[in-house]
């Protein structure tokens, strides 16, 4: 790929590659200079790494072989205008969008996304990234690009075979048990991720994921939003609950707050959540 020509990846609306990669939904991409072009590289699923760059004009470039999967991965095949048209008349949300209009919701492989958020509990972004990279390096398939090594996220079978104690040594702590049990259930065919992806009901899809040990509502919603393309899923953790309380004066908690958010923000509530999450994380003290 070092000698392969980069081609434009078309998209409509705003997009910031840097802001999307740093918005708390993706944790493993690395800066890379390839053939004189500065950009980012990372594995998409079990396959080899893709390289993508964005210049000052906003143009996105990838190799011809990777252009289609890059567009899908970063949600560039969806016009943002259609997403924004579903939002309510909400001045807070408008301000959040204006703060970082280029954020897109990525479409990650569901297993990779679910597993990453299982290990994210009560951890900061830097810690989540460190754990993800360690798991990839120890148990994922290795690929090379531009003289650098990249690792795909390990398959359920690899983590099931590794065992809980080995996963604990990847700095997962108590999260190792949940990750290992999820990997074992999926590897043994006892849990069907495909059924989650095809489940038409958000509530039912969330309930399916919450059958796995250690998967609560927040992790399930993250997996559905960032891994299953369910833009109606609205993840709420302690930080997001605090943000909604300050930005919207909401005193609701738990399922009542979840219902309010999904109803208020509509069929693309999860997209709204990304704007609000990034805005609150950067501006609220």
* CATH number for position 278: 1.10.1670
Are 35 and 60 in a shared domain? yes
Tokens 């810690």 sit on residue: 127
Instruction: State how far the Cα of 167 lies from the Cα of 217, in Å rounded to an integer.
Output: 23
Are 217 and 196 in a shared domain? yes
| DSSP string for 105-147 | -----HHHHHHHHHTTTT--HHHHHHHHHHHHHHHSPEEEETT
104 falls within a domain? no
pLDDT at 59: 97
Are 91 and 187 in a shared domain? no
Q: Find how far residue 95's CA is from the centre of its chain.
A: 23
Instruction: State how far the Cα of 267 lies from the Cα of 263, in Å rounded to an integer.
Output: 8
pLDDT in tens, 64-95: 999 999 999 999 999 999 999 999 999 999 99
Backbone angles phi, psi at 48, to 5 degrees: -70, 165
The answer to whether the pTM exceeds 0.85 is yes
232 falls within a domain? no
What is the mean predicted confidence (pLDDT) over 48-69?
95
Residue 95 CB neighbours (<10 A)? 14
Are 172 and 265 in a shared domain? no
Are 206 and 124 in a shared domain? yes
pLDDT in tens, 235-269: 999 889 999 999 999 888 899 999 999 999 999 99
Token code pair at residue 166: 């080995």
Token code pair at residue 197: 């992806």
Residue ranges making up the domain that contains 245: 238-283
Mark which of 99, 118, 135 sits at the end of a domain. 99
Instruction: State how far the Cα of 37 lies from the Cα of 131, in Å rounded to an integer.
Output: 29
């Amino acid at each position: 790929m070092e000698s392969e020509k980069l081609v434009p990846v078309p998209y409509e609306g705003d997009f910031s590659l840097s802001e999307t990669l740093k918005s708390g939904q993706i944790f493993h991409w690395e800066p890379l200079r390839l053939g004189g072009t500065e950009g980012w590289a990372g594995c998409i699923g079990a396959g080899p790494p893709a390289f993508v760059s964005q210049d000052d004009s906003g143009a996105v470039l990838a190799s011809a072989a990777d252009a289609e999967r890059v567009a899908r991965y970063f949600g560039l095949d969806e016009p943002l205008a259609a997403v924004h048209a579903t939002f309510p008349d909400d001045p807070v949300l408008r301000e959040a969008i204006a703060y970082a209009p280029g954020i897109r919701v990525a479409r990650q492989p569901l297993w990779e996304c679910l597993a990453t958020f299982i290990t994210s509990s009560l951890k900061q972004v830097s810690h989540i990234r460190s754990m993800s990279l360690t798991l990839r390096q120890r148990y994922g398939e290795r690929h090379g690009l531009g003289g650098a090594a990249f690792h795909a996220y390990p398959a359920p079978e690899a983590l099931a075979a590794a065992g809980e104690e080995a996963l604990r040594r990847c700095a997962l702590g108590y999260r190792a048990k949940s990750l290992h049990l999820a990997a074992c259930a999926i590897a043994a065919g006892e849990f069907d991720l495909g059924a989650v992806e095809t489940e038409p009901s958000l509530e039912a899809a969330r309930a399916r994921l919450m059958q796995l040990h250690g998967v609560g509502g927040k992790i399930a919603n993250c997996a559905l939003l960032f891994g299953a393309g369910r833009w109606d899923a609205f993840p709420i953790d302690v930080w997001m609950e605090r943000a909604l309380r300050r930005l919207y004066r909401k005193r609701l908690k738990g399922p009542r707050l979840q219902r309010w958010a999904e109803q208020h923000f509509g069929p693309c509530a999860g997209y709204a959540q990304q704007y609000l999450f990034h805005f609150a994380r950067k501006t609220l003290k």
